[in-house]
Chains A and B, each alone.
Chain A
Amino acid sequence: MADTLGSRICEYRRGKGITQDKLAEIMGVSSQAVSKWENDMSCPDIGLLPQLAEYFNITIDELLRGENSKAVKVISDENRKDFDKLILKVLVSSSNGDIVKMNVPLCLLKASLEIGSQFIQLTGNDTLKNMDYKSILLAAESGVIGKLLEVRSADGDIVEIVIE
């Protein structure tokens, strides 16, 4: 499937397990409009993008640019973003509908690890409890950015860790 806005809307909709009619109802448009979006015959109104992104638990950037923008990359020294400007994004979406999003500046994570704090484990998720955050920091300091981890458990929990 081509990596287009329509294909991404279709993919995220299927991921949610809903029909075009249901998505149309949620967004307040006709089902024909959703069908046109997915077939790249038209685009959603700009005002609907935040609503669509929020519904799919993604950013507008991800919706418009796709997963490729999150691919893991190693940035060379000269093009590397300042470490203090990097953010660790954690998304935990549990099967019972609870959603936890965290945007932790890496400088803050580093300071908290230095004092032995475990504040990032407040979600109680097992995947996060066993996470080696020191290695994540090391990777970020070496210029690694992008989606480091995506776990989808059998019972429907999703955990994503991204460095941006």
Chain B
Amino acid sequence: MKIMVDNGRYHFTFPVPIGIIAYTVTNHLVAGILNNEKSIPVKAKDLSVLFNELKRAKKTFGRLLLVDIETSSGQRIKITL
């Protein structure tokens, strides 16, 4: 998975390996971070279901563009599977 951020002046691409995020330790880590935000209460077990589904989707769809946000000011965020 790749997250690309472009604000006109700077261009960043963050690779997020799906194989790594589907580990149990990562699930607990991400769930802990999200729970700290209070607004997104989620369990590590639930995240594991989501991440495994993400892995399966990657196999089916390859590099699918999941999200493409383009603002009127020229900023752009793309999330590719």
Which chain A residues have a beta carbon within 8 Å of chain B's beta carbons? 84-85, 87, 96-105, 107-108, 110-112, 114-117, 122
Whether A105 lies near B61 (C-beta < 8 A) is yes
Pick the contact of A97 from B42, B47, B61, B71 — CB < 8 Å? B71
Q: Nearest residue in B to A90 (C-beta to C-beta)? A: B67
With the chains together, A101 CA to B57 CA distance in Å?
A: 18
Main secondary structure on A side of the interface with B? mixed
Answer whether residue B33 sits at the interface, using C-beta atoms and an 8 A cutoff. no
Answer whether residue B72 sits at the interface, using C-beta atoms and an 8 A cutoff. yes
Known contacts A104-B66, A108-B53; 18 further A-B pairs (Cβ under 8 A): A97-B72, A98-B70, A98-B72, A100-B68, A100-B69, A102-B66, A102-B67, A103-B67, A105-B57, A108-B50, A108-B57, A111-B53, A114-B46, A114-B49, A115-B46, A115-B50, A116-B46, A122-B67
Inter-chain contact count A-B, CB under 8 Å? 64
* 5 closest Cβ pairs, A-B complex: A97-B72, A115-B46, A111-B53, A101-B68, A105-B57
Q: List 13 A-B contacts (CB under 8 A).
A: A84-B60, A87-B61, A96-B72, A97-B72, A98-B70, A103-B66, A103-B67, A104-B66, A107-B57, A111-B49, A111-B50, A111-B53, A112-B50
Note all chain A residues with C-beta closer than 8 A to B53. 107-108, 110-111
B21 CB to closest chain A CB (Å) equals: 14
> Which residues of B (56-77) have their CB < 8 Å from a CB of A?
56-57, 60-61, 64-72
B3 CB to closest chain A CB (Å) equals: 13
B64 CB to closest chain A CB (Å) equals: 6
Note all chain B residues with C-beta closer than 8 A to A100. 67-70
With the chains together, A108 CA to B46 CA distance in Å?
A: 13
Q: Nearest residue in A to B41 (C-beta to C-beta)? A: A116
Pick the contact of B42 from A96, A108, A115 — CB < 8 Å? A115
Whether A87 lies near B72 (C-beta < 8 A) is no
With the chains together, A34 CA to B69 CA distance in Å?
A: 29
Whether A103 lies near B47 (C-beta < 8 A) is no
With the chains together, A100 CA to B61 CA distance in Å?
A: 20
Q: Nearest residue in B to A114 (C-beta to C-beta)? A: B49
Note all chain B residues with C-beta closer than 8 A to A97. 71-72
Whether B60 lies near A85 (C-beta < 8 A) is yes
Note all chain B residues with C-beta closer than 8 A to A107. 53, 56-57, 60
